[in-house]
């Protein structure tokens, strides 16, 4: 499934929306059996280093010497980055009909890169140029503004009046 996404985006130049529509039309289920494919799933796959082939020298620079000693220098590897997210749990009290109600709130945050742990995994078998093409295709993608129907004043230099300049 992931190979197909890479080929559609990097090889055929399809948008993430077009990929989602094709997979839904073909009746392919999402990883969590949702009704529709989520484009953020595709974006996450394309940007994940686990699918990108890394040479032994690239992997050796990111792992401990003990791990590097167990790898084959003639093979490529993907890199799974462990420990990227931290998790905090805190107790929150809220007023309820008969006093206070207590629940746990979960907060996720990104850890600094120094705390990430690179784990070499077997090569995905996809060509590096295809993965780079898919990454380049989505690089300029931006999430649409959630401004609703609010009025926004334009910053100077973006648009000019045809009459007065």
Element (H, E) at 101: strand 99-110
Tens digits of residue pLDDT in 108-158: 999 999 999 999 999 999 999 999 999 999 998 876 666 666 666 666 666
Per-residue model confidence (pLDDT) at position 161 = 74
Distance of alpha carbon 21 from alpha carbon 136, whole angstroms: 21
Q: How far is CA 128 from CA 55, 59, 72, 124, 133, in A?
A: 11, 15, 19, 10, 9
Q: Share the mean pLDDT of the chain.
A: 89
Q: What is the pTM of this model?
A: 0.72
Alpha helices, H only, 61-146: 65-69, 128-139
């Amino acid at each position: 499934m992931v190979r197909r996404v890479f080929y559609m985006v990097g090889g055929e130049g399809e948008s993430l929306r077009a990929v989602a529509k094709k997979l839904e039309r073909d009746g392919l289920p999402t990883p969590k059996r949702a009704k529709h494919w989520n484009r953020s799933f595709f974006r996450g796959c394309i940007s994940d280093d686990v699918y990108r082939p890394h040479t032994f020298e690239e992997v050796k620079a990111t792992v401990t010497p003990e791990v590097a000693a167990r790898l084959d220098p003639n093979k490529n590897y993907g890199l799974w980055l462990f420990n990227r997210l931290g998790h905090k749990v805190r107790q929150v009290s809220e007023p309820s009909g008969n006093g206070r109600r207590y629940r746990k709130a979960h907060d996720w945050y990104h850890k600094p890169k120094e705390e990430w742990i690179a784990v070499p995994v077997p090569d995905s078998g996809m060509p590096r140029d295809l993965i780079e093409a898919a990454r380049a295709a989505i690089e300029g993608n931006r999430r649409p503004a959630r401004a609703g129907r609010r009025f926004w004043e334009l910053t100077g230099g973006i648009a000019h009046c045809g009459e007065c300049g």
